[in-house]
Amino acid sequence: MINLLPPSQKIAILKEKKIKIVLIFEIFFLIFLICFILILLSIKIYIESQVNTLETFLSLEEKDQKTKDIKDLQVKLDFNNKNLIKINNFFKNQKNTVEILDNIFKKIPPEIIITSFSFKKDDFSVSLTGFAAKRDDLLKLKKNLEEEFNTVAFPPSVWINPLNVNFSVSFKVEKIAEK
């Protein structure tokens, strides 16, 4: 085919073809760029959703761990409180030996002479032997001891002699007077 167009039109047609080719390349490049931006945007949205999911999971795990730590501390605290209560009760229920002995000797009248004294701390039993000039002094001792202590026991033989009585007595300390 012979092209009979003048050279200026030939150049114009060639320029138009080149412009159309450049325009097609620009459209393809623009479409590629839009697709690339959309792909990057979808990747960003996916990553953000994964981050949010992981943050939620992490916060739940932290709460769970805190709850476990609080429960562990609560168990330890309860255990220590129980031990402290036991220790406190133990010391409250302890009988002070000095107070017991002081209380015993306060109950002995001045007319009585103690020759032997025995105190067993494991069962709080006391044994006394001694001398009384009169049976009335011994009765006074018995009365004083029975006011404060339980199971006061004098052997029957001590009540036979009215004068110069050698005696023995045993009793258990159940409680001490509160001061």
Q: pLDDT, tens digit, for every residue of 122-138?
A: 777 889 999 999 988 88
pLDDT tens, position by position, 26-56: 999 999 999 999 999 999 999 999 999 999 9
What is the CATH class of 97-172?
A: alpha beta
pLDDT class of 178 with cuts at 50, 70, 90: very low
Indicate if the pLDDT at residue 179 is higher than 50: no
Q: What pLDDT does residue 93 have?
A: 65
Domain boundaries in the chain?
A: 8-94, 97-172
What is the pTM assigned to this prediction?
0.46
HEC string for 105-168: HHHCCCCEEEEEEEEECCCCEEEEEEEEEEHHHHHHHHHHHHHHCEEEECCHHHHCCCEEEEEE
Q: Does residue 176 carry a pLDDT above 50?
A: no
Question: What's the CA dihedral at 78, 80, 84, 86 to 10 degrees?
Answer: 70
> Order of strands, edge to edge, in the sheet holding 112-120?
112-120, 125-134, 163-172, 150-153
